[in-house]
């Protein structure tokens, strides 16, 4: 059974997007326009995301990533902000980028964690 994506943290919507794979094969022709044909009934949709976490939340997220979803190899339930539905997702290639920042001088450390989620359409 798939685990749920952690509910703490905040999705930065300015980083969110959808990048669906093509379901077509395209062949150039000697003359005239290229031909296209559908070869897949379903495609993967990549979604670049960035989550903002407190220092403590980021430590918890790293544990979830490492232990619960096997460093991104396993699928998990993720709520898509575009339509509010829960989708089966995974972290593409198990790769993320984390950047520490302080929202204001003297404020506690925060983390910006970016990766690509992939789901079926």
Strand 76-79, strand 86-101: pairing: antiparallel
Indicate whether 7 pLDDT > 90: yes
Tell me what the pLDDT averaged over the chain comes to: 93
* Alpha-helical runs (H) found in the chain: 55-63
Give the pLDDT mean for 14-43. 88
Give me the pLDDT at residue 31, please. Answer: 86
- The DSSP code for 67 is I
Give me the pLDDT at residue 119, please. Answer: 96
Indicate whether 121 pLDDT > 90: no
Distance CA 90, CA 105 (A): 35
- Structural domain total, the chain: 1
How many whole angstroms from its chain centre is CA 24? 23
Residue percentage of the chain with pLDDT more than 70: 100
Residue numbers of the domain that contains 70: 3-120
Using alpha carbons, select from 98, 113, 116 the residue that is nearest to residue 52: 113
| Tokens, residue 52 | 């903002």
Give me the pLDDT at residue 24, please. Answer: 87
Global pTM value: 0.85
pLDDT digits (tens, 9 = 90+) for 32-70: 898 888 888 899 999 999 999 999 999 999 999 999 999
Q: The domain spanning residue 89 has which CATH number?
A: 2.40.30
- In which residue are the tokens 């699928």 written? 75
């Amino acid at each position: 059974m798939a685990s749920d994506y952690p509910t703490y943290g905040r999705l930065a919507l300015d980083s969110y997007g959808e990048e669906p794979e093509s379901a077509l094969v395209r062949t150039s022709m000697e003359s005239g326009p290229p031909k296209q044909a559908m070869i897949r009934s379903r495609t993967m949709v990549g979604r670049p995301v960035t989550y903002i976490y407190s220092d403590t939340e980021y430590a918890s997220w790293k544990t979830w990533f490492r232990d619960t979803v096997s460093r991104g190899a396993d699928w998990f339930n993720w709520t898509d902000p575009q339509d509010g539905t829960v989708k089966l997702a995974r972290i593409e290639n198990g790769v993320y980028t984390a950047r520490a920042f302080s929202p204001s001088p003297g404020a506690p450390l925060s983390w910006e964690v970016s990766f690509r989620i992939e789901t079926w359409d």
